[in-house]
Structure 1
């Protein structure tokens, strides 16, 4: 798992401990919320899930963080194989699209 700060976590225990430290301190009283935007299957047993997420005290519009998760199916269970998130920067997008219109996504 790689987060937008560049930190890389290795395995379930490492990820759980890192998140628990956050929710015990600076994120105390908040909830992690995720929405799935799209699922693309790449053969049997492998998919990429694109979505949005955020951490907040109450649910609102999710625009802050884009997520990309690779999931694999084994023994009838889907598990996360890889995860990456990045913070969306609307101002940087607006500047890019103004000066380089062809860089705007087509969909």
Structure 2
């Protein structure tokens, strides 16, 4: 489990924010933009006390590319398993997102300097997408 996932599981907004660079940007799935550790912490604290209390953050299909020796770009799929979903191994489809994370080296650790979260809704899987891509035959 990554430090991000551990801080999330602990519901610790301060620890979660501390894994981000001082002026990191965090773009949530709903378009909310948080800039800096203070906003990231204050944006997550009520979630961890409320609806996200006891939830688990999962990530998979992570791909990391080093841009330089001190900068990396990671893409991954991720999602939340809510506390009432028990020991579920994967998030429900409505909670799956595609994420892009930019990390910077800070001494011997990596910090998130930019994070962007997009709900995963492939157009081809929508009714309109299926209708428009259906071949006539």
What is the rounded CA distance, in whole Å, between the counterparts of 1:93 and 1:71 in structure 2?
31
What is the rounded CA distance, in whole Å, between the counterparts of 2:61 and 2:72 in structure 1?
13
Q: 1:62-105 CA deviation, whole Å, 9 max, x = no partner? A: 56111110001132221111000100114x2335477469xxxx
Which structure 2 residues correspond to residues 20-99 of structure 1 after superposition, within 5 A?
20-35=45-60, 37-56=62-81, 57=83, 58-61=87-90, 64-90=96-122, 92-95=123-126, 96=129, 99=132
Shift of the 8–82 alpha-carbon distance from structure 1 to 2, 3 Å rule, reads same
Shift of the 39–98 alpha-carbon distance from structure 1 to 2, 3 Å rule, reads farther
| TM-score, normalised by the number of residues in structure 1 | 0.77
Query: Would you tell me which structure has more helix in proportion to its own residues?
Result: 2
| TM-score, normalised by the number of residues in structure 2 | 0.62
1:33–1:59 contact (8 Å) kept in structure 2: no
Q: CA deviation at 1:52?
A: 1.7
When the two structures are aligned, how many residues end up with a matched partner?
Answer: 100
| Displaced runs of 4 or more, over 3 A | 95-101
Which structure 2 residues correspond to residues 3-22 of structure 1 after superposition, within 5 A?
3-22=28-47
